[in-house]
């Protein structure tokens, strides 16, 4: 599903080239739940952004769903984002001016889904995530955990092939973080492929595999034993 071959990412300044990723090889199959770990500055977010087509490798090859992503045109990328990849972030990134219902509905509007179908899809997720009573509230009226629930609902409402999460519990108290991790695990068990960046060894164990980056290189790639 995802294949990175010898991917480099670097930034050039006048006098030197600084590598953020160096020779990264990574294959992720459908149904996996991969946790990318490593110290701050190791290149985790950069790797996630390349996987999510938000950033481009400086060198090497990247295949997304067998398509050579290094050849995907900008216009197509937008299409890919909308239909194949869901994103969630540490800071939620909900739209403050839209209520819960509208935030979740937004990606469907962009994709040209008809009103009736949108309504059914949103109602379904509100119900499933147990937030029907919150549908008229705005993001600033919700707890962090609830905001992240809404962000996850928005990310998966288009039924993406892949869900990417950058420190999804980084802004949450442990109880709400646990709730979010359990939800991600459930989604994965239902077939959603997930890649998360996390600093937490505990949260990594909700997944199936840990990839550790150090100085832009894969230092360890191993299955999770004793999954949570």
For ligand ADP, the binding residues (CB under 6 A) are: 11, 20, 38, 40-46, 99, 101-102, 119, 135-136
Residue placing its CB nearer to ligand ADP in the complex, 152 or 197 = 197
Closest to ligand ADP by CB, 42 vs 195, is 42
78 vs 115 by CB, closer to ligand ADP: 115
Nearer to ligand ADP, 67 or 132 (CB): 132
Q: What is the CA radius of gyration of the chain?
A: 18
Cβ 226 to ligand ADP shortest distance, Å: 25
Nearer to ligand ADP (CB atom), residue 67 or residue 109: 109
Q: How far is the CB of 166 from ligand ADP (least distance, A)?
A: 8
Residues in the chain: 228
* Integer CA distances (angstroms), 113 to 7, 87, 157, 211, in order: 36, 20, 11, 37
* Least spacing, CB of residue 94 vs ligand ADP, in Å: 13
Cβ at position 38, least distance to ligand ADP in Å: 6
CB of 112 to ligand ADP, least distance (A): 16
CA atoms within 13 A on the CB side of 194: 31
- How far apart are the C-alpha atoms of 58 and 203, rounded to whole Å? 30
Nearest alpha-carbon partner for 188 in 217, 154, 152, 150: 152
Cα 131 to Cα 9: distance, rounded to the nearest angstrom: 40
């Amino acid at each position: 599903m995802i294949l990175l071959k010898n991917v480099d990412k670097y930034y050039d300044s006048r006098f030197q080239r600084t590598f953020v990723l160096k020779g990264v090889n990574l294959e992720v199959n459908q149904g996996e739940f991969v946790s990318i770990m490593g110290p701050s500055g190791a290149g985790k977010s950069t790797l996630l952004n390349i996987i999510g087509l938000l950033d481009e490798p400086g060198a090497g090859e990247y295949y997304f769903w067998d398509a050579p992503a290094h050849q995907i045109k900008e216009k197509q990328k937008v299409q890919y984002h909308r239909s194949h990849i869901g994103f969630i972030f540490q800071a939620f990134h909900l739209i403050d001016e839209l209520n819960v219902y509208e935030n979740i509905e937004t990606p469907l509007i962009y994709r040209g889904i008809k009103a009736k179908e949108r309504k059914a899809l949103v109602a379904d997720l509100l119900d499933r995530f147990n937030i029907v009573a919150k549908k008229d509230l705005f993001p600033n009226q919700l707890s962090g955990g609830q905001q992240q629930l809404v962000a996850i609902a928005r990310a998966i409402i288009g039924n993406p092939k892949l869900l990417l999460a950058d420190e999804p519990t980084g802004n949450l108290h442990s109880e709400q973080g646990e709730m979010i991790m359990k939800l991600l695990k459930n989604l994965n068990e239902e077939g959603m492929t997930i890649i998360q960046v996390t600093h937490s060894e505990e949260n990594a164990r909700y997944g199936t595999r840990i990839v550790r980056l150090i100085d832009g290189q894969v230092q360890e790639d191993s299955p999770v034993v004793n999954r949570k």
